[in-house]
């Protein structure tokens, strides 16, 4: 075969191959597609997986994800109804519900993310601005857990002061419902919305920390006061018990001394009955021993008792 004939066959083969290859496209299970002709969508969206047919060269298949997609918002500083500024970080899940409308209005996922930024951030700002800070922070009116270290008084003061009407879950649902109403004509469906993180701005954080420090100082002062009262009670009981013990010991000592004096008196009495003169002499000697000191000069008369006793003892 001549060379030019081979070239013609090769060109025809490539054309047929391109024609056949351009006539088919595959839709994955995680995808959905629309067909455009000269850049304009035609026909209905293709949402079922499998091998599909299109006109080659003039038609093009554009694929979109069928799975749930993520929207992660930026952390924004927002004011609450009670004029508290907080940082709010949120996230959402969405999907492409109408590929044709999605392509016409948003073109691709980048355009959808940009549009969701406007919608979800705006609705988050509106919702936060309509509610007090406590509604954003708490979800229920459940009672606070009692901390044994802080005591029941601190928890009792916090209980019931503020009762929330909505809570964080209701606010999330409010943002979700408002955002869903604004995305129905965009070919997307917002499936879920949640507040990921809520934090105070620096000024409010300092106020919160100051209140926490003040609360802990008040609790510490209460503990000190209770400790001082308990110490006073213990010291009082100790003084009372000490006085009772001392009084009882003094009573017992006096009883013993009384019994000893009685026994001594009885002994002296029996001794006096046996030899009255000897008893008188010993008592006199005891008196002189107590009265006369080491340096005392004693002058005795001739008729004195002591001299008489001394004379009689010779």
Here the contacts of 295-298 (C-beta below 8 Å, separation 24 or greater) are none
Q: Give the fold, CATH level 3, of 69-143+159-200.
A: Tetrahydropterin Synthase; Chain A (3.30.479)
Report the alpha-carbon distance of residue 175 to residue 181 in Å, rounded: 10
Cα-to-chain-centroid distance, residue 112: 39
Taking the chain (314 residues) in consecutive chunks of 10 residues, what is each chunk's mean pLDDT?
64 56 82 91 90 84 93 90 89 94 92 94 94 86 62 45 81 94 92 91 79 88 91 92 92 92 82 71 73 71 67 60
| Amino acid 54: pLDDT | 85
Strands (DSSP E) contained in 175-310 are 188-200
End-to-end Cα separation, the chain, in angstroms: 184
For the chain, what is the radius of gyration of the CA atoms? 54
**What pLDDT is recorded for position 199?**
86
- Please work out, in degrees rounded to the nearest 5, the angle formed at the alpha carbon of residue 114 by the alpha carbons of 78 and 117: 20
The residue with tokens 């008893």 is 279
List the chain domain ranges.
Answer: 19-65, 69-143+159-200
Residue 155 is predicted with a pLDDT of: 43
Distance between CA atoms of residues 32 and 98, nearest Å: 10
The pLDDT value recorded for residue 15 is: 57
Contact in structure between 129 and 83 (CB atoms under 8 Å) = no
> What is the spatial distance between Cα 178 and Cα 188, in angstroms, rounded to a whole number?
14
pLDDT at 141: 77
| Cα–Cα–Cα angle for 254, 273, 270, rounded to 5 degrees | 35
């Amino acid at each position: 075969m001549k060379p030019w004939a081979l070239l013609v066959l090769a060109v025809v083969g490539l054309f047929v191959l391109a024609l056949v290859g351009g006539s088919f496209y595959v839709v994955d299970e995680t995808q959905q597609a629309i067909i455009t002709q000269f850049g304009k969508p035609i026909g209905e969206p293709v949402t079922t997986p499998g091998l599909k047919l299109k006109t080659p060269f003039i038609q093009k298949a554009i694929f979109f994800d069928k799975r749930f997609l993520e929207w992660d918002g930026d952390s924004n500083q927002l004011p609450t109804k009670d004029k508290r500024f907080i940082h709010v970080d949120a996230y959402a899940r969405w999907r492409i519900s109408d590929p044709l409308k999605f392509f016409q209005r948003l073109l691709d996922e980048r355009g959808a993310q940009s549009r969701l930024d406007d919608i979800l951030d705006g609705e988050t700002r509106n919702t936060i601005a309509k509610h007090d800070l406590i509604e954003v922070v708490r979800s229920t009116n459940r009672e606070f857990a009692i901390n044994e270290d802080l005591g029941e008084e601190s928890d009792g003061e916090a209980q019931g002061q503020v009762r929330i009407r909505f809570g964080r879950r209701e606010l999330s649902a409010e943002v979700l419902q408002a955002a869903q109403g604004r995305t129905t004509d965009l070919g997307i469906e917002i499936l879920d919305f949640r507040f990921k993180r809520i934090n105070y701005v620096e000024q409010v954080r300092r106020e919160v920390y100051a209140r926490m420090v003040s609360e802990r100082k008040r609790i510490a002062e209460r503990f000190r006061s209770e400790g001082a009262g308990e110490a006073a009670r213990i010291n009082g009981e100790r003084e009372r018990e000490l006085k009772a013990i001392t009084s009882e010991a003094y009573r017992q000592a006096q009883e013993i001394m009384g019994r000893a004096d009685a026994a001594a008196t009885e002994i002296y009495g029996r001794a006096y009955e046996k030899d009255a003169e000897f008893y008188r002499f010993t008592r006199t000697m005891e008196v002189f021993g107590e009265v006369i000191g080491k340096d005392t000069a004693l002058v005795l008369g001739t008729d004195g008792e002591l001299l008489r006793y001394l004379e009689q003892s010779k």
